[in-house]
Structure 1
Amino acid sequence: MGRSRNTTLIILAFFAIYVIWGSTYLLNKVAVLELPPFMLASLRFTTAGILIFLLAKLMGIDLRISRKQLQNTILAGFLFLSFGNGVVVWALRYVDTGFAALEISAQPLIILLMMWILEGKKIKPMSMIGVIFGIIGIYLLVSQKQIITKENSILGMVMIFACMLSWAYGSIFVAKADLPKNYFVNTGYQMFTGGIILALMSFGFREEWTSPLSWSFNVKLVMVLLVIFGSILAFTSFNYLLKVVSPEKVATSTYVNPVVAMLLGWYFLKEEVTTQSIVAAIVLLTGVYFINTKKTLAIFERFKK
């Protein structure tokens, strides 16, 4: 019964990081066209962190953690949220939602290469094919004239790649680090500390903060969705999965995220989906498939052991 319950949790957690995170590109794009990016991300994550702490208190969950765990959650919060997410939000001012999601779809490739460089993990032949497909896909994606000729688009691409490096290292770090055992508490500390760092980044870049009362209805709605679903639900699911399955498996969310993001960007924001972008998506996701060639049931492999 316990194993069945945990399997269900894993499936629901994957749904959260697959579909809900795919929609956050659209939500962030809508909000960042009106609000400064680091202020937006700071309010999102700080609010989510505080709400998690309040919920934990109501549920009787102990929020006390060790000094080492606090240090680790601060580092994880910076890698995933302050830099890894905050800079992506900033970059969305200059690139389309579908493009950003497609570029980030190469995340499993980055994690694989980083595990090889940092941990000496051998790259299997099938995974090497995936790496080659990934490189070709990225080239097809970023070489489109109608994309690279847009103002600051190349800067946006480069900064998103830097965010991918941050997320990749964070995924490897979190898989082994001493973190709070409760996934809810772990998420809360990462959200809150990551949000505080984003506030400092916002002040450092001299962003102008505005009252939520002055925001448009759409931005208020987007912020609620980002806090509850994109932050609390999806990020708690993400932290949970990093402990029960391998980082490469968690990164398979990039199969679905770009498809969701492209469809939503096309439908709601009338973003152009070029033939070359579709080809690049197919090539990139084929590469991700080769990196993770085992059947879907392999997702539960570590749990079953």
Structure 2
Amino acid sequence: MWFIGKVVFMSKSQNALLIVLAFVAIYVIWGSTYLMNKIAVHELPPFMLASVRFSVAGLLIFVLCKIMGIPLNITKKQLLNSMIAGFLFLAFGNGFVVWALKYVDSGFAALEIAAQPLVILLLMRILEGKKIQTMSVVGVIIGILGIYLLVSQNQVISQENSVLGMVMIFFCMVSWAYGSLFVAKADLPKNYFVNTGFQMFTAGIMLMVGSLLIGETWTLPTAWSSPVQYAMLFLIILGSIVAFTAFNYLLKVVSPEKVATSTYVNPIIALLLGWFFLDEQITTQSTIAAIVLLTGVYFINTRKKLVLFSRFSSRYSPKED
């Protein structure tokens, strides 16, 4: 946990290397989580997998807070809001993505999720009446075209339950988008670690309840294969703790536009890793769809002020007490 301690406490003058490491984290680690989830879901039930990941990560964050002297005090309203955010982001928003990975390739899922800024923009228009700027309108049109090219491939729709998986990922994006708008206004713990810890832990409990209700079979880690054990460790330590910490750190020390570049890099990392390790096919149409879709996301993110990222940063940046 040396990296996390450094991220929280070192001053900006000492941060050149940490900034590079943080970008590597949000580029490579987050891009790799699709592969790790795909590996694990071949052997583990999806909701059990997500439950273990987030509940253990939440507990580890609580331990880190104790070590760093960060109080875990939280009001009832903050706890309720943390639970709502945890459901929107993690229990539903991530848990069902893991479920969908049973039916779609990891690289394909990453590309579809790259349309997240498009969904957020549309929700801001529908729910908050925010005017969509000209560049963003262009981005939405291009993004919709990219999504169509992505999901209309015969190689994709011919796979069993692939359409169901694609639809579920879309609803997960809506959940994430609404969650992003919710946390911008909700009363949540101001400290990032405390907030994230409660969101992850409560989401893990929700996923556990859902897993047991639908009759998933739980097994001990000792019964898992070595690849699944390594994948779970990666998801808990790197995907859930280090990458989120790096993301928050970057929002504090560099411009939101630079942090938003992870939107373009994560799908490429996921596609390449899925192709290399899982023999997932990268079709010509997928490549064209990726270029078109990411171009649309680029147009959306090139507004002079990234409202969502600015609000997210002000909400989640660690407070120096």
- Higher mean alpha-carbon deviation, 71-80 vs 12-21, is at 12-21
Over residues 104-148 of structure 1, what are the superposed CA-to-partner deviations in whole Å (9 max), with x where a residue is unaligned? 010000011111111111111111110010000000000001110
Relative to 1, partners in 2 of residues 1:43 and 1:67: Cα closer, same or farther, differing over 3 Å? same
Worse-superposed segment, 264-273 or 236-245? 236-245
State yes or no: 1:118 paired with 2:127: yes
Aligned to 1:165: 174
Number of the residue aligned with 1:32? 41
Question: How has the CA–CA distance of structure 1 residues 105 and 301 changed in structure 2, closer, same or farther, with 3 Å as cutoff?
Answer: closer
Cα deviations across residues 11-66 of structure 1 (Å, max 9, x unaligned)? Answer: 76554333211100000000000000000000010010111111111221100111
Counterpart residue identity of residue 293, structure 2: L
Task: Report the residue type matching 1:45 in the other structure.
Answer: F
Q: Which runs of 5+ in 2 are unaligned?
A: 1-9, 315-321
The 5 A counterparts of 1:70-85 are 70-85=79-94
- The total of aligned residue pairs comes to 304
CA contact (8 A) 1:26 1:97 kept: yes
Question: How big is each residue's C-alpha offset from its partner over 1:188-225, in whole Å with a ceiling of 9 and x where there is no partner?
Answer: 10110000000011012110001111100111111111
Three-state SS of the structure 1 residue aligned to 2:70 is coil
The match for 1:52 is 61
Q: What one-letter code is carried by the residue in structure 2 that aligns with 1:141?
A: L
1:223 aligned residue:
232
1:64 aligned counterpart, secondary structure: coil
Aligned pair partner of 1:109 in 113, 118, 121: 118
- Who is 2:292 aligned against? 283
TM-score, scaled relative to structure 2: 0.86
Paired with 2:111 and 2:296, the residues of 1 have a C-alpha distance of 12
Q: 1:264 maps to what in 2?
A: 273
Change in 2 beyond 3 A, CA 1:83/1:246: farther
Output the amino acid matched with 2:99. W
Aligned partners of 1:88 and 1:148: how far apart in 2? 17
Displacement after TM superposition at 1:256 (Å)? 1.1
Closer, same or farther in 2 for the Cα pair 1:85/1:7, shift >3 Å?
farther
Per-residue deviation at 1:253? Answer: 2.7
Q: Please say if residues 151 and 157 of structure 2, whose CA atoms lie closer than 8 Å, have aligned partners that are also in contact.
A: yes
Q: Could you state the TM-score of these two structures normalised by the residue count of structure 1? A: 0.91
Aligned to 1:131: 140
Runs of at least 5 residues in structure 1 that lack an aligned partner in the other structure: none
